[in-house]
Structures are given as structure tokens and as C-alpha cells.
Amino acid sequence: MRDEIKNRSVFYSSLIPHPSSLRLRTPRRSIIVWLITATVTLLFVSLIVVAPLAAASGHDSLALIIYTAFSKFCHQIRERSFEVVGHPFAVCARCTGIYLGFAAGVLIYPLVRSLKRTDAPARWWLLVALVPTAIDFALGFFGILENTHLSRLLTGALLGGVTAFYVVPGLMDLSRMSFKRSSMKDEIELLAIRAKQ
């Protein structure tokens, strides 16, 4: 009876991938996903500044494409946008803050939280981060207090930075979903080979 139990436990443990292999493979995948996310985010944020620089340097087509594409996502009111070399950014100060904050959040994420984690922080952090932006927007909208470029940038950056801490775990989970599928396929193939033997 004891031998039977031992055989059975050996059999079932053979179906589970060795933990050391998972420990080695998962972080590398997470780092790659984080690097891709950081690169794409930085490229995206750079477009905001590339538009005015392209306009100033005579690359009008490039500038027009970026300005027009971002016009679908931002009001682009000149008085509410930062300017470089006489041309406005591709998005307003608040949107600039959100995107810059998001990029900063993605960059510092591994320093604050493990890349292995796939759970999002508590939802109230997001609501707390939203409050300053909402207040800043409401004060300006109702004419109570005129907000400034700096207030829009900072409140937006806070919201964007916190958002990154929800998005990166989601992307890690997404990458792991495909990893689980491929490892399951490996297991099935392994069982089929053993069955043949």
C-alpha cells in the first residue's frame, strides 16, 4: 500500500513542471515585457514633443500627421498647451502630464513592485489619484480658480503614474497567459512521448 502511494505521488509530481525551471523562465519573460512596455511608452510620449520640433524644423508632413492623430484624443487648445520653439505640444498640459506620469510610472515600476506580481493594487488608490485632477478640472471649469499649466501637469502626472501600476501587472498577466498555454502544450507533448515509450 505504501509503495503504491509512493508510486502515485512520484507519478503526479512528474506532471508538474520543476519549480526551478519556472523560477528561471518567468522573471526573464517579465523583464522583456517590461522593457517592451517602457520602450513603447517612451516612443509614444516622445511623439508629443516631436510634433512641435518637426514643425519648427520644416518637417511639416510629420508634424501634421502627429497633430491630427492626437487631435482625436485631445482638444489641443493652444492656451492650455506647453510650447517648444514657438509650436504647441501635440496634446494639452493635462494630457502631457498624464502621459509623462504614465511613462515615469512604468519606468520606476520594477523599483517599487515585483515584476512577478500580476495583481493590481487596491482600486481606491486609483480613485485617490483621480481626485486632484477632478478638483483641478472642476475649479477651472466652474471659474472658481484659474488653474495653471503646472497644476494641470502635476495632477495629470499623478493620475498617469498611478495608472501605470495597474497596467503593468495586467501586461505581465497577459504574457503569463500565453506562457501557461505554451507550457501546457509542452506537458501534453511530453505525456504523449512517454505514452509511446
Residue ranges that bind other proteins, judged by CB under 8 A: 4, 7-8, 10-12, 14, 40, 44, 55, 60-61, 63-76, 86-87, 91-92, 94-95, 117-121, 123, 126, 163, 166-167, 169-177, 191, 194-195, 197
Tell me the closest approach of the beta carbon of residue 145 to other proteins, in angstroms. 19
Return the sign of the alpha-carbon dihedral for residues 148, 149, 153, 154. negative
Tell me the closest approach of the beta carbon of residue 197 to other proteins, in angstroms. 6
- The answer to whether the CB of 56 falls within 8 A of the CB of 87 is yes
Return the sign of the alpha-carbon dihedral for residues 87, 71, 42, 117. positive
Tell me the closest approach of the beta carbon of residue 146 to other proteins, in angstroms. 17
Tell me the closest approach of the beta carbon of residue 94 to other proteins, in angstroms. 8
Query: Using N-to-C axis directions, what is the helix angle for 19-56 and 93-112, rounded to 10°?
Result: 150
Q: Which of 106, 96, 107 is nearest to 157 (CA)?
A: 96
Q: Which of 16, 19, 90, 94 is nearest to 51 (CA)?
A: 90
Give whichever of 86 and 143 is closer to other proteins, judged by the CB atom. 86
Give whichever of 87 and 149 is closer to other proteins, judged by the CB atom. 87
Give whichever of 24 and 60 is closer to other proteins, judged by the CB atom. 60
Give whichever of 44 and 131 is closer to other proteins, judged by the CB atom. 44
